[in-house]
Structure 1
Amino acid sequence: MTETRAPKPDLEWLPAALDAAEAAPDAVALRARDHALLRLVAGATVIDVGCGTGRAVADLGRLGARALGVDLDAGMLAAARARHPGIAVCSADATALPLADGEARGYRADKVFHTLPEPLAALTEARRVLAPGGRIVLVGQDWDTMVIDSDRPALTRRIVHARADTIPQPRSARAYRNLLLDTGFHEVSLEVHTLIFTEATTRPLLDGHATAAHEAGAITATEAEEWMREQAIRATTGRLLIAVPMFLASATR
């Protein structure tokens, strides 16, 4: 007998939810900090790996860098070109960047390394394209440490951990420092910044967590539906709380 499946979230809300999350004050402050750690030099090449819709590429360009964004998602690249006409973006893998040895003075990857099958290979490529003295900045969440307020904390823990287990490298962010050291970078530093989301516009991001947990067999369809319903009520009554610790690592080539 097949169990009733939890409803899949409607992905039409995804761009708006991601935009809302990226526009939150904590997220804006984190981007400003990661840009500062790049120690930008006017006119120097900076590559944004996994550029998504191009927000950082456009920001880095306005700060005077010669910014290039790369991504493997054709839809994201199309959105980047539409949102920020004139920015330089192209399709490229993190392990095969379209730059010559030592061509870049800066490299950033924001919420990317958890998707990569071989983070060390990507960092080896980052080191190749960076000039001596060039800067690298990595930003990402540890998927096991997301905090979500709920009346059902045990169920929430199961959802968070089950969602983490669907990610190729869910704990890569906590390993940033060691990965950078292992790849030969120096002046390595690590910070943790917590993003707080309380706006209803970010609530749909949680639906994907519950659906993934159900599909992984960690929770039932009923548990998924009830949990999503609770979060929807919290969102409409101003009681939503999502806290995401973000690891910010930087180093010098």
Structure 2
Amino acid sequence: MSTTNTSTDTDTEALVALLDIIDNYPGAAALRARSIELLAAPPGATVLDVGCGAGRAVAEMTEQGWDALGIDLDEHMLAIARRRWPHCRFEKADAASLPLADHSVRGYRAEKVFHDIADPSSALTEGHRVLAPGGRIVLIGQDWDGFFIDSDHPELTRTIVHARADTVAAPRAARRYRNLLLDTGFTDAQIEVHTGVFTDHTLLPMLTGIAHAAAAAGAITSEEAEDWIGDQTRRGQADRGFVAIPLFLAHADRP
């Protein structure tokens, strides 16, 4: 999901494939349903999904009887969304510059997006602008310093996680959700924590990616990265993997 830059077609296809796997987990489906429920918009209302990616949440919001609009900056991602959900609306737009009038939507949702926005406050200010009084904003995201991974090399794992976090535009945005929302003028900001736990090889592409990112940043050697990936691969194949990712769900009202 992207609201700040585009990716290559190959990168996007790989991301969509991983997201499809994760999105089909019961916990992920339940979290998505919870975020949609919290929007609490009246029938027929316009609701917005920022960084909509391949569009699954937009389709589910449309099924609620809302006029749902998905926005993203990745053209290829939007093409996938339009192909999958031809009855839904999607537009290319930046989270900090929405093509919408003041107070024109009743719900604003963004999942796993704000860590990619260097200035989350600018996006929230824009969300505050387009939301009608009485509207609701719902944010979901992980803290990139908060991945819990079992490993034979805990110190190396800690280095990999933190090095990968440092490559993200706003890696700790999720832990700031409540304060960011309050500082932007939203009220009754509340936080829920939902943890995804993976014990098989599902997240191996992500684990491989964070190890390579740490090596590219010079935090570890390429040999250390490959040894660590090998350990995680063996664990996943033997049903001995363990990755826990707390996801923060924040919601607040537009007064």
Q: Which runs of 4+ in 1 moved over 4 A?
A: 10-13
Residue aligning to 1:85: 86
Distance change (3 Å), C-alpha of 1:130 and 1:11: closer
Question: How many residues are treated as equivalent by the alignment?
Answer: 245
Residue aligning to 1:116: 117
Residue aligning to 1:50: 51
Structure 1 residue 28 corresponds to structure 2 residue 10: no
Residue aligning to 2:147: 146
Judge conservation of contact 2:58–2:69 (CA < 8 Å) in 1.
yes
Please report how far the alpha carbon of residue 14 of structure 1 lies from its aligned counterpart in structure 2 after TM superposition.
3.6
Please report how far the alpha carbon of residue 18 of structure 1 lies from its aligned counterpart in structure 2 after TM superposition.
1.9
Task: For 1:15, give the aligned amino acid.
Answer: V
| CA deviation map 1:12-68 (0-9, x unaligned) | 644322211121121111111111111132110000000000010001001111100
TM-score (norm 2): 0.93
Pairs within 5 Å for 1:158-237 = 158-237=159-238
Residue aligning to 1:74: 75
Judge conservation of contact 2:12–2:77 (CA < 8 Å) in 1.
no
* Secondary structure at 2:190 match in 1: strand
Judge conservation of contact 1:142–1:173 (CA < 8 Å) in 2.
yes
* Secondary structure at 2:91 match in 1: strand
Task: For 2:39, give the aligned amino acid.
Answer: L
- Unaligned 5+ segments in structure 2 are 1-10
Judge conservation of contact 2:58–2:68 (CA < 8 Å) in 1.
yes
Distance 2:99 2:173 in 1: 24
Distance 2:213 2:164 in 1: 6
Judge conservation of contact 1:196–1:241 (CA < 8 Å) in 2.
yes
Distance 1:13 1:111 in 2: 16
Judge conservation of contact 1:70–1:91 (CA < 8 Å) in 2.
yes
Distance 1:130 1:172 in 2: 21
Residue aligning to 1:105: 106
Identity %: 59
Moved more, 21-30 or 160-169: 21-30
* Secondary structure at 1:201 match in 2: coil
Judge conservation of contact 1:52–1:80 (CA < 8 Å) in 2.
yes
Judge conservation of contact 1:48–1:57 (CA < 8 Å) in 2.
yes
CA RMSD in angstroms comes to: 1.5
